Amino acid sequence: METRVGMYRAQVRVRYFEKAAYDLFLQNLVKGTSHLATGQEAIAAGVSAALRPDDYVFATYRGHAHAILRGAPMPAVLAELMGRETGLMGGKGGSMHLTYVANNFMGSYAIVGAHLTIANGTAWSAQYRGTDQVTVAFFGDGTTNIGAFHEALNLAATWKLPVIFVCENNLYMEYTPISEVTAVPRPAADRASAYGLAPVAIDGNDADVVYATALEAVLRARSGDGPSLIEAVTYRHGGHSRADPGKYRPDSEVAEWLAKDPIPRLRDRLLSVGVDASLLDRIDTEARSEVDQAREEAKAAPLADPAGVERQVFADGGAQWRR
């Protein structure tokens, strides 16, 4: 039960965080664009609950949830979105490049599919060093039509790497339905057999299902039985990015998926098995307070110094040695 309540807390924290990021964007305080995971929280929460602190995680540019649930401080994440000096990357990376190596969150990647082959690297490192660490790489449905997806799966299966590939299938690759440009109905699961893997497709809006599936894959990887590919079907509540109103999606489809919101779904289930409503209400209040405090702290931080753009680029902190 503790794990399930923890997953509820994780989802609520992410939901309030994404709402804050949205509001700051509308106030012109978020620099660049941002890609929100509102509606997809159960995937990050369920998988994170199955991991150890020393496991490795890679995410896409829709990676706020993964960074936060791997322990990245909320004020620093919001500050990064706002281009502030106190941001995770000193305000230079923005929403699409969050990284928190201190907790083995190895980054969000703007280049679609690029991180899957890198995830094989940390998995191979753990295999070589004889640890039982696992690597998880999250990616979107559109990535399944990228060459790196197939290259990464092939090598991981061939070398039996301790890596778990999690497809967050929200049905749209930017503005195009994945079904219109893919030869199989399930873009990830239906390709698993080509690499000797089981075709796993789950309800990505059910944290309990995500957790159980991820835990099985994690145990498989730790025991040396190789990689897993999980397709978690979900839906983003908003557009692809904050610049996208998402009007290309049918109203009936949006309404259907809003009714499958993972947070009230888990809350109702917890209440049905005897969890006190006051506990869940307190979690909501604490999460809202945490985000409010993080937002104010980030807003009060100084903007990043433009002169810092050449720092942390080369090993000595600058490009002067090349001139």
Tens of pLDDT, residue by residue over 82-107, are 999 999 999 988 999 999 999 999 99
pLDDT value at 244 more than 90: no
Q: What is the pLDDT of residues 6-23, one digit of tens each?
A: 999 999 999 999 999 999
**Domain of residue 249, CATH code:** 3.40.50.970
In this prediction, residue 318 has a pLDDT band, given cuts at 50, 70 and 90, of low
CA dihedral 49, 50, 55, 60 (to 10 degrees): -70
Residues spanned by the domain of 136: 2-322
- Which has more pLDDT, 320 or 141? 141
- Confidence class for position 316, pLDDT limits 50, 70, 90: low
Task: Starting at the earlier edge strand, list the strands of the sheet with 105-109.
Answer: 105-109, 56-60, 135-140, 163-169, 228-233, 200-203
Nearest to 171 by CA among 65, 42, 95, 257: 257
Tell me what pLDDT residue 243 has.
80
For the entire predicted model, the pTM comes to: 0.94
* Beta strand 135-140 pairing with 200-203: unpaired
pLDDT greater than 70 at residue 70: yes
The residue to which tokens 């931080």 are assigned: 301
Closest CA to 229 of 180, 194, 182: 194
Domain tally, the chain = 1
Q: Using 50, 70 and 90 to split pLDDT, how confident is the model at 311?
A: confident
